[in-house]
Amino acid sequence: MAAEASPSPLSFFFIILVTVFALTPIAHSIPFIVLHGLGDKCTNRGITHFTELLGNWSGSQGYCIEIGDGTWDSWIMPLMEQTAIVCEKVKEMPELSEGYSIIGLSQGNVIARGVIEFCDGGPPVKNFVSLGGPHAGTASVPLCGTSFICILVDNLIKSGIYSDYVQEHLAPSGYLKIPTDITNYMERCRFLPKLNNEITDKNSTYKERFSSLKNLVLIMFEHDTILIPKETAWFGYYPDGSFSPTLPANKTELYIKDWIGLKTMDEAGKVKFFSVPGNHLAISRTDMKTYILPYLEDQASNRTVIMDSSSRSGSMSSSSSSSSSIRNFVMELVGLTKNRPLQLTVD
């Protein structure tokens, strides 16, 4: 009887190759949404370019979610109402039904967190990437300028930041936290105390939903002059009653008492604290690829991000040939120049 032919080396190689691919988990991209900051809109050049770049690099579909008319409503629409609009929009998008990630820019981050914590029946949020978010509040409203919207904002601020009228007509008042006026903040600020579960009757659902994230990526800008203090992007803030010192996140009551699950997530390795050079939202393409791109993949929790000083050179605002700046377009939008600082402590 003739001997059976033995498999060729090529056959063995093919079998091994198929086995390796079958056993190796393959990271795949999931859709993401972008929530822009104050005074911006989805159709502005900086936002569209930012969204397109991340979509092209990740191979995932990105969507900028607009609220009302964008620019104007980002200033005057109460944050709870803005959150409700985004909640309804994501529920109506079949592309997001299996889960999605959120990228928040400045004020857009508190709206993003509102969607995560407050949106009943919404699709699951897998990863949340925050760029310059006023998570613990912001403590100052700098000079704005002479444009019409700045004059309007100045008049609103003068009428009392925690007054009913300002809370109803100036969106950033919802996360302005004056350390020396905590009583009024707790009693009359209509958004951040609820978002951070600082309220007397803690809501366990907010904590449960927020801590269900696979990854929370917090990006702080080292030279941020818009957020006061800049460490609020990492949930750091001032102690009640004083403007100093700036407490790191893990020394704040929000973290220690785990009101929203930040401590739980941090101890589980879900929270990533990244610091990048530049002013508010001035992020380079290199840093976008290093700190944002890995978290647009469903398997991002298994990936390791290696931080190297050489990978953080340059910023979008300093090199027109290789980068672009969201911040510059925001400043142009509200009539500001480099020498005239934005008055509100956001975009």
Q: Which residues contact 13 (CB under 8 A, 6 or more apart)?
A: none
* Tokens 């930040």 found at: 262
Q: Give me the residues paired with residue 271 across strands.
A: 216
Residue of 293, 273, 262 whose CA lies nearest to 32: 293
Say how far apart CA 78 and CA 74 lie, in whole Å.
Answer: 9
Contacts of 329 (CB under 8 A, 6+ apart): 40, 44, 45, 46, 47
Alpha-carbon distance of 255 to 295, in angstroms, equals 23
What does the alpha-carbon distance between residue 102 and residue 228 come to, in Å, rounded to a whole number?
Answer: 24
Going from the C-alpha of 216 to that of each of 20, 129, 222, 269, the distances in angstroms are 31, 6, 19, 9
Give me the active site residues, please.
106, 224, 280
